[in-house]
Structure 1
């Protein structure tokens, strides 16, 4: 075929369908109608002489030819986007774009609100798309340029990525206001073993250290419920259960629900929160600005609140 006659816009549509495996989702992603997308696909099929996609019960499956084409097209489009972004000046006062940030559950709870507020105060044309990181392959999405930044308890999975620690913190106990175990802002070991526990199952914050410490004193933790982070405030507010989780997340829940944060009666492990990005964005002005905003927001979390008050 004559590549000079190929409409390169069709490759953008091809790439969207490869990623979404759905004509309707690809059309929504590209802000175009589904008939327009189908017409564009028909033109590309005619130009390339291949069916490209086959409809199946699980979505639009690429043909072998499309599978071979997908990676080079994705790389070419990403390099083109990166080149355009790197060459263009970036002014947050006038820029209009959306950043996609992957967040784990704790980072979403702690950072989403202040980060959105900081960006809105400085750049009204900048939007955020926060996506949960627990069910995706971060390295792959960062490689493909589908994610601009990742926030959470993570580290660079390879030399092509960079990471930077934002803040760290320990664990605390979260329980309802007026809980019978509440004594002088600290929970003693006997109460920690006596009252039922809620294990937060969606944060990947291991709390086995609690069992080890209790066992040293002949005590045992009773786990009454395992539930996602989202269920935590309602469960604790309506029961005598308590939960051991990251102190920053616990204080965020206590800010919006009738809950109290108590200190553990022993020193806990530390939880780190970091940001992760692809090194090819190191010198891209828009990405450097985004990372600077994240760092500015993170400064407020460098010291635990109870330390700041002492």
Structure 2
């Protein structure tokens, strides 16, 4: 009898908690990271794997230079076990009424730079006001495989300039905006709250390398008027405020981000004197969460916060 058949016969005696450990090790490929993810000790993870190996009569994971590598049998189990646990979690979430005032849970949300600047603070405030025991885990989306993490259930939602990459996901537009210039307060290029083409061609520019917001449209507009942009510095967003505050450089950034950054820093957002491309910010989630009350509340809260912008 093969191992799959043996599992089919023995599943009634299997401790389902062990499958949670199996799933975590399968995702993390590390007993240490699995322990941290499940808030368990590493010896407890090792003990659980030992029990599961005995129940399934397979080594399941072997140590290698790249971490805990699954055996062929474990590899075949990883997807079905993950899907089964996700379906069970969704079923339990959906069966229980979600009452924000008394709910005690967390949501993991990936955010890009734009939504982190513009949405994070009001979203945190809204969640704290309505659901004081609900925790938000906001993660930068730049290095994440969003589709994979939404599939795995390690992400509840992603917010950014994105659209549903496949039929199993849903998306909803939150807001749309153009671009503005961000300069130090008192910058000579800012006249009546705007910066014209002459100034854009005259003063040096700081290009933000981490926002993923293309500003080539500025070069095209200047070229039509016989002007060009001089890029003095390329730097990540974290360096922008200090760099701009101590120079005459100009940074081109999304309009709402520029406004938000200017609230508590010695910089100001100024209009551009021509039409700019539009940037769309949307939220993305897995369709299996469509009818889950907790996730419906989260999406409604994000939408309400976005509308208030």
1: CA distance, partners of 2:11 / 2:293: 33
2: CA distance, partners of 1:38 / 1:107: 40
Give the SS at the match of 1:255.
coil
Q: How big is the shift at 1:169?
A: 0.8
1:64-143 aligned within 5 A: 64-143=72-151
Task: Establish whether residue 54 from structure 1 lines up as the match of residue 42 from structure 2.
Answer: no
- The gaps in structure 2 that reach 5 residues or longer are 1-5
Task: Establish whether residue 198 from structure 1 lines up as the match of residue 181 from structure 2.
Answer: no
- What TM-score comes out, normalization by structure 2 length? 0.94
2: CA distance, partners of 1:240 / 1:98: 43
Cα displacement string for residues 232-252 of structure 1 (whole angstroms, at most 9, x for unaligned residues):
111111222110010111111
Q: How big is the shift at 1:100?
A: 0.7
Task: Establish whether residue 188 from structure 1 lines up as the match of residue 173 from structure 2.
Answer: no
2: CA distance, partners of 1:59 / 1:106: 35
1: CA distance, partners of 2:236 / 2:68: 32
Q: How big is the shift at 1:271?
A: 0.9
Give the SS at the match of 1:184.
coil
1: CA distance, partners of 2:69 / 2:242: 42
1: CA distance, partners of 2:89 / 2:193: 52
1: CA distance, partners of 2:63 / 2:242: 43
2: CA distance, partners of 1:64 / 1:237: 57
1:235-274 aligned within 5 A: 235-274=243-282
- The gaps in structure 1 that reach 5 residues or longer are 302-310
Give the SS at the match of 2:189.
coil
- The equivalent of 1:214 in structure 2 is 222
- Number of residue-to-residue matches in the alignment: 301
RMSD of aligned residue pairs (Cα, Å) = 1.2
Q: Which moved more, 1:175-184 or 1:87-96?
A: 175-184
Q: How big is the shift at 1:55?
A: 2.2
2: CA distance, partners of 1:56 / 1:241: 50
- The equivalent of 1:306 in structure 2 is none
Cα displacement string for residues 79-116 of structure 1 (whole angstroms, at most 9, x for unaligned residues):
11111111111111111100011111111111111101
2: CA distance, partners of 1:219 / 1:14: 61
Q: 1:27 aligns with which of 17, 23, 35?
A: 35
CA distance 1:238–1:56, shift in 2 (3 Å): farther
Give the SS at the match of 1:256.
coil
Q: How big is the shift at 1:195?
A: 1.1
- What TM-score comes out, normalization by structure 1 length? 0.94
1: CA distance, partners of 2:286 / 2:67: 30
2: CA distance, partners of 1:292 / 1:96: 18
